[in-house]
Amino acid sequence: MISNLLQLQKEYFKTGETKSVSYRKQVLKKLKTELIKRESDIIQALSKDFKKPVFESVLTETAVVLSDLDLMIKNINKWAKPKRITPALLNFPSTDKLYSEPYGQTLIIAPWNYPYQLAIAPLVAAIAAGNTVILKPSELTPHTSSLLKDIISNVFKPEHVNVVEGGVDISTKLLAQRWDYIFFTGSVFVGKIVAKAAAEHLTPVTLELGGKNPCIIDETANIKLTAKRIVWGKFLNAGQTCIAPDYILIHQSKKDAFYKALKIEIEKAYTNTPETSNDFARIVNEKNYNRLAKMLTNEKCIIGGNTNSETYYISPTVIDEPSIDSEVMKDEIFGPILPVLSYKNEHEIETVISNYEKPLSLYVFSTNSEKARQTVEKFSFGGGCINDTVVHFANHRLPFGGVGNSGIGAYHGKQSYITFSHQKAVVKKGNWLDLPVRYAPYTGKLNQVKKILKWL
């Protein structure tokens, strides 16, 4: 029973064991040893779930988690220590401190597209910050989900960390409980369900959602390199990446050269029969396969357009000038289909982008630094790159998250630790002096207070 499990975690949290930094470090090290030991099982599970290539499994799943774990283990003493903050003059004499306090019982709901990394990375941060965790992996990647359950039960006591497997019904039951923090990664649609459930108990949330990520290529871009970097970022994980470029907006004068370069780069990466390549993943299930295959009907596929309904294969595909009302331009694509729209003047870029909610990412390819800077400043989006795609994810010093419809909150690196901690501010007043200025009666004190406030 979910409520019993949660009660168990509540009672365990009250014992204070998770507040001990040395205990947290000890369990994180234990987790690291287990994850290293099970790396080949993880890679195998990812391959069984949607033929995820080994290289991509290491680069985007296991290695990311291990480097996160190292960072947490290395910094936990420093991050957990109360920080001295410069006091306000008005409070003189005082010592001010900021305490990182664990929230308590946290719920993490993960998606299927990076089913290992997007489950374990927030879990590592939640534990480092001293919380208990219930993790619900995605039901669409069952091999990874059951492996996660096995790994976690080998490392943690159930009252500390537990994996609850299941689909919508289980997720709904979990969301009906009262949590101290909910960390959700998934679609905008389910993000709203999570936000509503959290609002019932005023539970704080992180929502890592998606969106339609524009990729702008101007007339000054280095087309060969642009195509190479877009092919990697778009077709990685068969396009099932929340920060993959969703559609291209290219200056009309560069479109033909771009198509030629794309064709060369796709063949270089996946051969001219990508279906036989070990480096190209499959679509996760029938529902998503059908959704994507439908986008190809009545469109001009300038590259690819091949499908196999038995293996859920969709080839790297480029669609030339779809209409803005077409299926492919309606919502986030989340698959290996790349629509290309050309523009003559910059105003058209704005017209297209403003059709959609604020995206999770935006990419701009240009050798004109000033223009690229202006583009980045003009649009609101979660994060992105100039002259590359996806790689902003790799810098743990950059917080990762959306804005508006693409999400609430952020994580990665130190930000992950902060996300899972309440920042508790405490002023310790000295008793050796008690300035009379703030106390009533106030007569004649207003000017003094105004002066002090000016110094602050």
CA 445 to chain centre: 51
Structure tokens at 396: 């743990």
Binding track over 388-407 against ligand NAD, x by CB under 6 A? --------------x----x
Q: Which is nearer to ligand NAD, 195 or 264 (CB)?
A: 195
Q: Which is nearer to ligand NAD, 193 or 302 (CB)?
A: 193
Site for ligand NAD in 90-149 (CB under 6 A): 109-113, 118, 136, 138-139
Task: Spell 56-94 as b/e; 16+ CB within 10 A means b.
Answer: bbbebbbebbbebbebbbeebeebbeeeeeebeeeeeee
Q: Which of 208, 299, 327, 332 is catalytic?
A: 208
Distance, CA of 41 to CA of 181 (rounded, Å): 30
Distance, CA of 42 to CA of 393 (rounded, Å): 21
Of 53, 122, 186, 274, the residue at the interface with ligand NAD (CB under 6 A) is 186
Q: Which is nearer to ligand NAD, 266 or 410 (CB)?
A: 410
- Quick one: CA dihedral 378, 383, 384, 385, positive or negative? positive
433 touches 98 (CB < 8 A): no
3-state secondary structure of 233: helix
Q: What interhelical angle do 223-235 and 255-270 show, nearest 10?
A: 50
Q: Which of 356, 365, 248 is nearest to 303 (CA)?
A: 248
Q: Which is nearer to ligand NAD, 175 or 217 (CB)?
A: 175
Binding track over 237-256 against ligand NAD, x by CB under 6 A? -----x--------------
Of 44, 91, 187, 220, the residue at the interface with ligand NAD (CB under 6 A) is 187
From the CB of residue 377, how many other CB atoms can be counted at a distance below 10 Å?
Answer: 8
CB of 190 to ligand NAD, least distance (A): 3
Task: Spell 248-257 as b/e; 16+ CB within 10 A means b.
Answer: bbbbeebbee
Q: In Å, how far are 108, 114, 399 from 185, measured between CA atoms? A: 8, 10, 15
Please choose, out of 17-25, 186-194, 308-316, 340-348, the segment that lies near ligand NAD by the rule CB under 6 A.
186-194
Site for ligand NAD in 315-374 (CB under 6 A): 332, 334, 360
CB of 446 to ligand NAD, least distance (A): 50
CB of 453 to ligand NAD, least distance (A): 42
Verify whether residue 301 is a known catalytic residue: no
Q: Which is nearer to ligand NAD, 208 or 299 (CB)?
A: 208
Q: Which of 391, 393, 388, 298 is nearest to 339 (CA)?
A: 298
Of 9, 185, 315, 419, the residue at the interface with ligand NAD (CB under 6 A) is 185
Q: Which is nearer to ligand NAD, 90 or 391 (CB)?
A: 391
Q: Which is nearer to ligand NAD, 171 or 415 (CB)?
A: 171
Structure tokens at 280: 């190209």
Binding track over 189-218 against ligand NAD, x by CB under 6 A? -x--x--------------xxx--------
3-state secondary structure of 262: helix
CB of 111 to ligand NAD, least distance (A): 3
Q: In Å, how far are 55, 56, 57 from 281, measured between CA atoms? A: 11, 9, 11
Distance, CA of 194 to CA of 203 (rounded, Å): 10
CB of 401 to ligand NAD, least distance (A): 7
Q: Which of 35, 10, 34, 18 is nearest to 76 (CA)?
A: 18
Name the closest residue to ligand NAD (Cβ).
210
Count the residues of the shown chain that bind ligand NAD, applying the rule CB under 6 A: 28
125 touches 117 (CB < 8 A): no
Site for ligand NAD in 148-167 (CB under 6 A): 167
Verify whether residue 385 is a known catalytic residue: no
What is the set of active-site residues? 208, 242
Residues lying near ligand NAD in the complex (CB under 6 A): 109-113, 118, 136, 138-139, 167-168, 171-172, 175, 185-187, 190, 193, 208-210, 242, 332, 334, 360, 402, 407
